[in-house]
Structures are given as C-alpha cells and as structure tokens.
Amino acid sequence: MLLRACSRVRATVVRIDLGRCYSSGRSKAALRKSKAPHLPVMTTETVQFLEPKKDEVFIDMTFGAGGHTRALLEASSGVTVVALDRDPHAHRLACEMAVEFPGRLIPVLGRFSELPALLRTLDGYDRQRYFNGILFDFGCSSMQFDEASRGFSIAHDGPLDMRMDKDRCPEQLSAAEVLARIQEQDLARILKVYGEEKQSKKIARAIVNARLTVKRIETTAELASIVAHCLSQGEPSVSAFEYRQDKLRRPAHVATKTFQALRIFVNNELNEINYGMVLAKHLLRSGGKLVTIAFHSLEDTIVKRHLTGHVVDDVASRVPLQLISHTLAHETDTMQEMMKPNWKQLTKHVVVPTEDEVADNPRSRSAKLRAAVRLS
C-alpha cells in the first residue's frame, strides 16, 4: 500500500506489549474490551456497511480510542486505515495502535477542516478520490467526558476547558474564556441553537450576572451550580439531576444542555461536521462507502441534508435546493449538475443499537447510524 505515515507521526510511536494480555487466561479481545477507554458503538454494523476488503484504504475521521479502526483492520489483513483525530491524547493512542499494524494504520493529528493539508504530507497520497470508505463517529469520546481535567464533565469537577484539541491550537478559546467575554445575547443564542435549551435567555442572564457580581467562572462545578440555581428558583430542594429528563426520559442534570451547547461552540463542531461531509464527497471513490454515527439531532440533521442533496454552496440547508431555485440565478445545466445526487443511502431509516448493546454500553443509546454509497 502506498500510504506511509509522515515522520512526525512515526517519531511519536510508542511500543506496547500486547503479548501479556494472553497470560490472564481471558481472550485478547475480551480483555481489550474490558480495558477500553471508550467502547465503540455499532461496530458490527459499521464493518458490515463499510465491507473492508484487501488493498482497500479507509479513513476513520474520529479515531478516539480506535475501536472502529481496529475492527476494520482486523476484518481484512490487506486493509489500510488513515486515523484522524483532533485530540492529541487520541492521536497518541493511534500511534500506539499503529505498532500492532505495521504500515496499515496511519495516525494523523488534526480536525476535519485541516485534513486536506494533512493528507498532502502523507507519502503516496496522490489524488482526491482516494478512499474506499469513510467513517465519522461524531461527538466526544468517553476519555474526554470522563477525564475531569478536560472540562467536559458535569459529574467530575475540573477546569472549564472543553477544547478537544487541548493546547494544540493557540487561537482556540476554552469554555471559561468564552464565558468571560461573550455578550449575553450571543450566549443565549448559542444555548438555544446548540443546546436546544428552552431557558436559554434565563441561563445566559444568570451566567453574565455571575460574571459581573461574583468572579470569572473557572470550573465545571461552578457553571453547573449557576445553571442549577437559576433554574431551580422557587424549588431549591429539587436535586439538579431530578429536575429534568432527557429525550429518552433519563434523569439529566439541568445544565446538560448548557454544557452541550458550549462544547459545540468551543469546538466549532457543527461547522466541522458540515465541512467533513463536503470532504467525504471529494475523498471517496465512486462506489465508496460512508458511515456516520450521530448522537444528537443537530449532528444527524447535517448528515441527512448532505445525503439527500439539501446543500447550497456546500452548506447543509434547511430548504431543499429545488425549492429555493427562485433565489438562485443559475443556468439550467448548472442547476441540474448541482441537483445531481452524490449519495445513495443504504438504509431507509437510521440504524440504532440493539438492546444488548445498550445494556452493555448505555452511552450508545442515543446513537443513530447512517450509511451511504458515493455515486460516480
């Protein structure tokens, strides 16, 4: 296979001793699963849709802890996977796993939006529509959610950071820095749009008031408590977890939507997803497969709009292209070219995890998988 890792990546590879796994008497796979820092979702379905075969090249756009990448590599010994992640911690894990699959796993550190430039640095990458399959497993990994120091967690107090890239991108603001500067109206809009938070104005006002009267909000516990206090006014005895239910009727902390909104804003997640879907169109060969796994409707809606061709100027649009033609002054040929479908969906509806998988891995329960083939 032509692709080879750039030297920067090779230099950071760390050897791990998997041979020792056998000595415990448990199977290698079971031991790995029990220790996995993130349990991959719908792995069997993902591999079935992507159908990896000898000499094919895949790109895992969201390596995380590498569960899906491993499944692809193990499905066929001739498969190569380029493993992208913006998180330096995930990238380190990819470099470690690369040792197990010499020449077949190419770790790349960066965001979807940085990928075109990164691909040009890989030896042997010579043309746009190179890949046989692309996988997106959107959102945060369990490592990001569970590690207090990453600042994503309501349950574990830590610095209010939320940057998936850690310190890799000096221009990126942490959640604490965003809250220290943002105007109340803008914050309310972010909470409403990215968090689908009905009380967005009230929460934005409470955060801005806290900033003016108390101090800079520095920790996840401080933010959670400001939101809980503002929403429980009049009912101070109600626990923050009992106060609301999520869409699946699970008890959720009242600040969950605020955290989701901030995380999406800090990491520019939805624009990244839109860009990722544009890239997928350019990177996949004709007949190449796409699998996406989304965890909330904002992510899934962007995917759906791309797959169904509701995209204007490469931006996922609320309005189907054919219905906004009166505002577009294109020639008929151009219009027809724009409306040519790029994708054939492989599933009529989204695929969701089995009950067994949800019982094993409760975090999988809001996952929605879509699969499609790139048309010529």
252-272 residues labelled b (16+ CB within 10 A) or e (exposed): bbbbbbbbbbbbbbbbebbeb
Between 134 and 254, name the residue whose CB sits nearer to ligand SAM. 134
Of 52, 67, 151, 353, the one binding ligand SAM (CB under 6 A) is: 67
Closest CA to 52 of 99, 101, 16: 101
Between 82 and 230, name the residue whose CB sits nearer to ligand SAM. 82
Binding flag, residue 90, ligand SAM (CB under 6 A) = yes
Least separation in angstroms between residue 270's CB and ligand SAM is: 10
Compute the chain's Rg from CA coordinates.
22
Binding flag, residue 66, ligand SAM (CB under 6 A) = yes
Give the Cβ contact number of residue 28 at 10 Å.
Answer: 12
Of 111, 163, 257, 305, the one binding ligand SAM (CB under 6 A) is: 111
Distance, in Å, from the CA atom of 367 to the CA atom of 137, rounded to the nearest integer, reads 9
Binding flag, residue 85, ligand SAM (CB under 6 A) = yes
Rounded alpha-carbon distances, angstroms, from residue 154 to 170, 311, 320: 25, 35, 38
For residues 46 and 133, is the Cβ–Cβ distance under 8 A? no
Stretch that binds ligand SAM, among 17-25, 79-87, 183-191, 243-251 (CB under 6 A): 79-87
Of 84, 207, 210, 298, the one binding ligand SAM (CB under 6 A) is: 84
Least separation in angstroms between residue 126's CB and ligand SAM is: 23
Residues 6 or more apart in contact with residue 369 via CB below 8 angstroms: 41, 42, 45, 46, 49, 291, 292, 293, 347, 350, 351, 352
Binding flag, residue 40, ligand SAM (CB under 6 A) = yes
Binding flag, residue 133, ligand SAM (CB under 6 A) = no
For residues 178 and 262, is the Cβ–Cβ distance under 8 A? yes
Least separation in angstroms between residue 143's CB and ligand SAM is: 7
Stretch that binds ligand SAM, among 6-14, 82-90, 148-156, 255-263 (CB under 6 A): 82-90
Rounded alpha-carbon distances, angstroms, from residue 138 to 41, 112, 369: 11, 11, 10
Binding flag, residue 52, ligand SAM (CB under 6 A) = no
Between 90 and 119, name the residue whose CB sits nearer to ligand SAM. 90
Stretch that binds ligand SAM, among 1-9, 64-72, 198-206, 337-345 (CB under 6 A): 64-72
Please report, as residue ranges, which positions from 264 to 303 form the binding site for ligand SAM (by CB under 6 A).
272
In the structure encoding, which two tokens stand for residue 192, read together?
A: 């409403």
Q: Which residues pair with 107 in a beta bridge?
A: 83
Instruction: Count the site residues for ligand SAM by CB under 6 A.
Output: 21
Of 139, 151, 288, 353, the one binding ligand SAM (CB under 6 A) is: 139
Least separation in angstroms between residue 141's CB and ligand SAM is: 4
Distance, in Å, from the CA atom of 227 to the CA atom of 370, rounded to the nearest integer, reads 34
For residues 254 and 154, is the Cβ–Cβ distance under 8 A? no
* Structure-derived torsion over alpha carbons of residues 173, 41, 91, 76, reported in degrees to the nearest 10: -150
Stretch that binds ligand SAM, among 24-32, 133-141, 213-221, 331-339 (CB under 6 A): 133-141
Binding flag, residue 263, ligand SAM (CB under 6 A) = no
Between 90 and 95, name the residue whose CB sits nearer to ligand SAM. 90
Least separation in angstroms between residue 60's CB and ligand SAM is: 7
For residues 137 and 293, is the Cβ–Cβ distance under 8 A? yes
Distance, in Å, from the CA atom of 181 to the CA atom of 205, rounded to the nearest integer, reads 13
Least separation in angstroms between residue 290's CB and ligand SAM is: 15
Contacts with ligand SAM, residue ranges (CB under 6 A)? 38, 40, 62, 64-68, 84-87, 90, 111-112, 137, 139-141, 164, 272
